[in-house]
Amino acid sequence: HVARAGIDVVLVGDSAAMVELGYETTQPVSLDQMLHHCQSVKRGLDYVREHRPLLVGDMPFGTYEFEDTDVALKNAYRFVKEAGVDAVKVEGGSAARAEAVKKVVEGGVAVMGHIGLTPQAISVLGGFRAQGRTASRARTLVDEGLRLQEAGAFAIVLECVPENVATTITETLEIPTIGIGAGGGTSGQVLVFHDMLGMLSHPHHEQFVPRFCKKYAHVGFAIQSGLQAFKADVESGVFPGSDFTPYAMSDEEKKAFDALLQVDKEERRRKLEEASKKLTQADEYEQLHLYGSDGKGASSN
């Protein structure tokens, strides 16, 4: 659907942990799980010939933060070789994170950065909170953007930051920015698929849709309505009915089938009678030889 809509970039985000796997945060999702999701999306995109979006895989928490940047590169290679992505995304703009980005880019894998609200770091940030709302923190975000650009990132996601801050970062950088809850001054926009379509697939998202997310559909209600209608039709006997029972036998085959069933029935009756007869004979033998003809077990020497 995304490809057919002409969307330019498909980001397989670690938000799948929440909207697909039912976790409370993005942190628990594993590398193998993210590869599985990316593989599935890649196969879907391959079916659409008229438009091919850029496919970006989100590197999950714990796969690129190490001082040994070879770990990040090794895991990035898995995204490319096993999942077929065009690029990977990493969160954070610290000097250490920039070193990891540089290592991955020099290794031949394109990297999208992500600053502002970085969901993988909510333990440090204190929850899902907007970032860059003070002058000093906003200036830090500008520096982080420049640092990631210098490290070789081809684009940067700006999440949950004031519009003026996102606009400043966009105007400062030479690479494109992708905003989510960052106003209209970024180069592009991204939203979580399930949020924008109103899929209601996770309790958190059902109760709280981010203020920055415009709902373009209410798919969740349509799904629920359809399931309830199915349940009602089954319980009332309306479904499947003749309209949805398309497969039938010819009259000739029906007669042949009935004849086969009759033969089977007679064979089962014959076997049952034989078994009953053998059981009766066994009882008679036991009565005669073990207990005597009078059944009282009397004997003499």
The candidate with the shortest Cα–Cα distance to 115, out of 88, 137, 144, is 144
159 is catalytic: yes
Cβ 160 vs Cβ 212: under 8 Å: yes
Give DSSP secondary structure letters for 91-131.
---SHHHHHHHHHHHHTT-EEEEEEES-GGGHHHHTSS---
How many helices, marked H, and strands, marked E, lie in the chain?
Answer: 11, 7
Identify the active-site residue in 106, 159, 206, 266: 159
Cβ 79 vs Cβ 59: under 8 Å: yes
Question: Are β-strands 188-189 and 87-89 bridged in parallel, bridged antiparallel, or unpaired?
Answer: unpaired
Q: Where are the beta strands (DSSP E) in the chain?
A: 9-12, 54-58, 87-89, 110-116, 155-159, 177-180, 188-189
CA–chain centroid gap for 208, Å, is 20
Catalytic residue numbers, as ranges:
159
